[in-house]
Chains A and B, each alone.
Chain A
């Protein structure tokens, strides 16, 4: 009996799961991205790297737009989510659990359904715009749907809890005496927040930014439902290439490109956030 082997054995199911459902498909996808051919004559492995260059060249705009929308949605989530997390952690008292539940309640409904609900709410003659137009507060031609802001706010709405929860988790376990110590050492309310609470919560912010940015950048539902032809994101392109055009190599190549870009982004961000947290310590 070698006790050291036990943790590895216990982790075996997880490794198997990852292997079967993540690594294998990933390898398959990588292989597909290097194939040439079409649906009728079949695909053959030719290790053709040109698909990547072609795909990136053709869908550069959508790729950049995805990062822009994902980044904007992340920013909106941060601006809305931080105060929410702060308020629940510091001021909600014993009803904290209740507020967290309220925050998560919409997410018991399917993702697509929620997005469709927004489509209904924001429709050109829907509840909001229709009423405003009837009241003469908006011109007849005003619309929200099919615009970039609609997609960005849809994304922000969809991923808000991913921002709130990590920040809340950090703030909730923060010793309240730290704020008192800052006040005791001549920091006003604002200085205590900026010098102590904010730097302390940065790990939560980092986690929240990653957990929002990654799924928001690769999302396609919001762009499909709330956006229009001018707001296509890379996720929509991949979906179309896979399911409509059956251009499997192109779709696979785009998938890998997106993954690589996000991984690089995460890496760069982690490095930047790491050094920034240290810089935050300079009183």
Chain B
């Protein structure tokens, strides 16, 4: 075999050629229904997704929402019951995993127990008939990159969880796949290691410049690591966007509640938006707030306010509110969390309807006043741009 060109390139098949700026991975109308005897389970209902080349993309959602199924359809381990999967612009629906230019880091790592770490990492290159000298070089480089050179000749069973995880990463990345698929890659690690591995994964991704698709049920992980993320629920994508976008402007009640803590409020538009773009909204608890919405008077709307967007102060310490939303209430609960204290405030309502409880996070910074006690009368203020109006749930 000629060694003047990268032989791996010749062995690469479906979906390698990068055609301009098209998405590295594209799912169009993808659905998956499992059949188990006479019963069926629809794991993925209807999925449209596009992941750009070089992007760190996260898929986040509660357990059972279809994340693993989605990843397995990209990897080629499950065939969609409807829709199309494209890798670098090429339709790979029906193409087996060994002829797709993506590699998977399995949730349980699935390292070959009967092979050394080095042989595990070399597996893909050898299957693609890369010359032995190049295999040795690339495996060596990759083990250096994940700092496993010292254990190259050991069996995976003798390694710690963190080391096994890095072997799984190395075994996939050494093939320089068009995209790397990671299923809960940090799920099996203890919390301290998990934090460290977040940074490690990001570093790896930057260094190899590959497209990463990272599946997790941990919204904190998704927010911290992803360039863009998709929030899934019930086999559908609820929202796709940059972490700040998804967090600050959640599309619906589900996303608002799943990604970070949220105060969910329901109310009726009283007067439609004026010149400043804010409408007056009567909350079901009787309070009135202002929020940006195009809805006309009488329309029912849901809105959220993130706990850290609300200023909490003891009643009487009146300051300029500059057109901010103002609610008065009583502290029901205060939980000291170190950097911040989480308050639950019962907001006094005008009507006889159910009382409204708001969660407020206050940084315990140098500028913060004295701690507020349970039972203290407080005033809550936030700028109306942080009253985020939700779409239909």
Contact = CB atoms under 8 A, between A and B. Distances in A.
B98 A187 contact: yes
B375 interface: no
A191 B11 CA distance: 15
A281 B127 contact: no
A91 interface: no
A185 B96 contact: no
Contacts of B113: 178, 200
B75 A184 contact: yes
B106 A281 contact: no
Contacts, number: 75
The majority secondary structure among interface residues of chain A is helix
Contact of B112 (A178, A183, A188): A178
Contacts of B96: 183, 188
Contacts of A2: none
Interface stretch (B115-123, B190-198, B236-244): B115-123
Contact of A175 (B99, B108, B122): B108
A136 B172 CA distance: 62
Given A183-B96, A184-B75, A283-B126, A196 B106 contact: no
Interface string A193-211: 0011001101000000000
A178 B114 CA distance: 11
Contacts of B103: 184-185
Given A183-B96, A183-B97, A281-B119, A199 B104 contact: no
| Residue of A180, A184, A202 contacting most chain B CB atoms (<10 Å) | A184
A60 interface: no
A182 interface: yes
B114 A277 contact: yes
Contacts of B126: 283
B114 A185 contact: no
A175 B175 CA distance: 23
A185 B116 contact: no
B13 to A, nearest CB: 9
Q: How large is the interface on A (under 10, 10 to 19, 20 to 34, 35 or more residues)?
A: 20 to 34
Nearest to B128: A186
A197 to B, nearest CB: 10
A186 to B, nearest CB: 4
A178 B110 contact: yes
Contacts of B329: none
Contacts of B114: 199-200, 202, 277, 280-281
Contacts of A281: 114-116, 119
Interface in A165-194: 175, 177-178, 180-188, 191
A283 B118 CA distance: 9
B336 interface: no
A277 B116 CA distance: 12
A269 B122 CA distance: 30
Interface in B81-130: 96-99, 103-104, 106, 108, 110-116, 119, 122-124, 126-128
B77 interface: yes
Contact of B110 (A180, A186, A187, A283): A180
A283 B120 CA distance: 7
Contacts of A4: none
A63 to B, nearest CB: 36
Nearest to B181: A184
Contact of A181 (B11, B99, B110, B116): B110
Interface string A255-283: 00000000000000000000001001111
B131 to A, nearest CB: 14
B123 A182 contact: yes
A185 B110 contact: no
Contacts of A185: 98, 103, 123-124, 127, 171-172, 175
A180 B122 CA distance: 16
A184 B75 CA distance: 7
A184 B119 contact: no
A251 B11 CA distance: 64
A279 B114 CA distance: 10
A186 B127 contact: yes
Given A175-B108, A184-B97, A281-B114, 8 more contacts: A178-B110, A181-B104, A183-B97, A184-B172, A185-B124, A186-B128, A200-B113, A283-B126
Top 4 A-B pairs ranked by shortest CB distance? A185-B124, A177-B110, A186-B127, A181-B110
Interface of B: 11, 75-77, 96-99, 103-104, 106, 108, 110-116, 119, 122-124, 126-128, 171-172, 175
29 contacts: A177-B108, A178-B112, A180-B77, A180-B97, A180-B104, A180-B106, A181-B110, A181-B171, A182-B112, A183-B77, A184-B75, A184-B76, A184-B77, A184-B98, A184-B172, A185-B98, A185-B103, A185-B124, A185-B127, A185-B171, A186-B11, A187-B123, A188-B96, A200-B114, A280-B114, A281-B116, A281-B119, A282-B119, A283-B115
